[in-house]
Amino acid sequence: MSNGLKGRSLLSMTDLSREELHQVLDLATLLKFQQKVGQPHHLLAGKTLGMIFEKPSTRTRVSFEAGIYQLGGMGLYLSRNDLQLGRGETIGDTARTLGRFVDIIMARVFAHKTVEDLAKYSGVPVINGLSEREHPCQILGDLLTIKEKKGKLEGLNLCFIGDGNNVCHSLLLGCAMTGINMSVAHPAGYAPLPAIVDEAQKIGEENNAVIKVVEQVVDAVGDADVIYTDVWVSMGQEENAEDKQKKFSKYQVNKNLVKLAGPKVIVMHCLPAHRGEEITDEVMDGPHSVVFDQAENRLHAQKAVMALLGAG
């Protein structure tokens, strides 16, 4: 396996070049096929993945744990209570120690600096399983899903509706890198970080992708091939729930909104969904939804990432 990613970390979508991103997607497609036909692919035989969880997650834990097992390795689940971080040990000391025990670290954390410090001090590849800034593994699974459903990436139009959060940030960068035109429709005060938007627009110029941020949903959804939404209230933001639900009420993905995009649009959600808030049951369970294919593809995309970063 020709591989320039060996030994590197994935903290942001921009840690990958355009070519490397497509390499991940191509390997994910192969690994998915091999799993479906029962063909072993033990690319990480004997390797150990340390999984740090400051935030719990169904999809992230199960997909990484199942993924490393299918690659021939093993995963160690490490909650905050299993580590000494809560008792005052520095991230640097934790990283230096774990790097002596495991071959790869995946971390799902609050502060993005945590994954940066883990990568700086551990001496092994670190994968960002989610931080407040980005969620690259989610977007790799999303791009794999879009490519499967639409047969291509370049030239498509994607509309993200809702909070300009970590998923939105990585999606902006991933779409710009692959030539997908992306519009973000958000309530006032909930735009994605300007620095991320600026970076995505610069990358988009190199790949013929137009990146726009607007406040009116109708301005973004009309020509969409893909509609994407996420929860209005992310973990740790519960104190803002009432205010957000009021401001986001016009940003629900429902049948009337989907009709604006046309009959071939696909609808995506990174899950978990708050049904009846950001998306209705009718859409979530309807013919346009690819939500659970999208969830499955986290497994295949993450296996490709682990294999490329940790093989050899």
**Residues designated as active site:** 108, 135, 138, 230, 270, 298
At 112 the pLDDT is 97
Write the CATH number of the domain with boundaries 138-294: 3.40.50.1370
Other beta carbons within 10 angstroms of residue 219's beta carbon come to 12
- pLDDT by residue for the chain (312 residues), tens digit each? 568 999 999 999 999 999 999 999 999 999 999 999 999 999 999 999 999 999 989 999 999 999 999 999 999 999 988 887 656 788 999 999 999 999 999 999 999 999 999 999 999 999 999 999 999 999 999 999 999 999 999 999 999 999 999 999 999 999 999 999 999 999 999 999 999 999 999 999 999 999 999 999 998 898 999 999 999 987 666 667 777 888 999 999 999 999 999 899 999 999 999 999 999 999 999 999 999 999 999 999 999 999 999 975
* pTM for the structure as a whole: 0.96
Domain boundaries, the chain: 13-135+298-310, 138-294
Of 59, 54, 56, 52, which is closest to residue 272 (Cα–Cα)?
A: 59
At 87 the pLDDT is 64
At 85 the pLDDT is 64
Are the folds of 13-135+298-310 and 138-294 the same?
Answer: yes
What contacts 24+ positions apart, CB below 8 Å, involve 283-292?
283/253, 283/254, 283/255, 283/258, 286/255, 286/258, 288/227, 288/258, 290/145, 290/149, 290/266, 291/267
At 89 the pLDDT is 85
Cα atoms in the Cβ-side hemisphere of radius 13 Å centred on 211: 26
Task: Write down the architecture of domain 13-135+298-310 according to CATH.
Answer: 3-Layer(aba) Sandwich (3.40)
Q: Say how far residue 225 (Cα) sits from the centre of its chain.
A: 19
At 81 the pLDDT is 81
At 3 the pLDDT is 80
